[in-house]
Amino acid sequence: MKKKIILFLTITLMITLLTTSVLANFELKTTTNQNNQDFLGLFFGEPYKHLYEQKINFHAQKEIEPIELEATKTKVHVVEVIDKGFNPEKIEIKAGETIEWQNKRKTLRLNKMLIVGTPLCGHFKSKVLTTDQTYSWTFEKSNRCVVVDSVTKYAMVVNVVK
């Protein structure tokens, strides 16, 4: 048992001395650029030579130029909500396109709309909207679904294709 403990302590001492020697040697080598390259070359090798040969000043101030991104243009289809339902009552669109429902009801008694999409449409619901207010929804998946105006119970069919 004593031999195992002595062996363990000897190995630990050797590792400590070796680590200390390497660290001391590293501190000495980092004084010149050439030695830095040699040291990094040991770890990164020749294929990564460009990483340590390129001199980079990390403290230099450089203005960041803004990049303009292209806005994704999705087609918007307009559906009017009128006193007698939807205009048009059926519509075919592509996946990723948007439908905007516009409340065009003019009568005082019936001037509100509440658009609800069935689960096949994405299960969406607008708030109660009055005349000239709009609600829009983008259809992501191809499907055939029904959209209902909950105020009047009129329905329309939306066919979403790929």
pTM above 0.75, yes or no: no
Which regions of the chain carry the CATH code 2.60.40.420? Answer: 76-161
Q: What is the pLDDT of residues 34-93, one digit of tens each?
A: 555 555 555 555 555 555 555 555 455 556 566 565 566 778 999 999 988 999 999 999
Q: Specify the DSSP class assigned to residue 63.
A: P
Tell me: pLDDT of 31 over 60: no
Tokens encoding 116: 């609800």
Q: What is the pLDDT of residues 120-129, one digit of tens each?
A: 888 899 999 9
Domain at 76-161: CATH architecture: Sandwich (2.60)
Which residue from 102, 99, 106, 105 is spatially nearest to 157, judged by alpha carbons?
Answer: 99
Residues 6+ apart with CB under 8 A from 124: 115, 116, 117, 137
**Which pLDDT does position 136 carry in this prediction?**
93
Which residue from 75, 107, 100, 76 is spatially nearest to 86, judged by alpha carbons?
Answer: 100
Cβ atoms of residues 82 and 102 within 8 Å: no
Cβ atoms of residues 129 and 110 within 8 Å: no
Tokens encoding 137: 């929804």
**Which pLDDT does position 93 carry in this prediction?**
92
B/e letters for 105-144, b = 16+ CB within 10 Å, e = fewer, are beeeeebbbbbebeeebeebebeebeeebebbbebeeebe
The Cα–Cα gap between 19 and 91 comes to 74
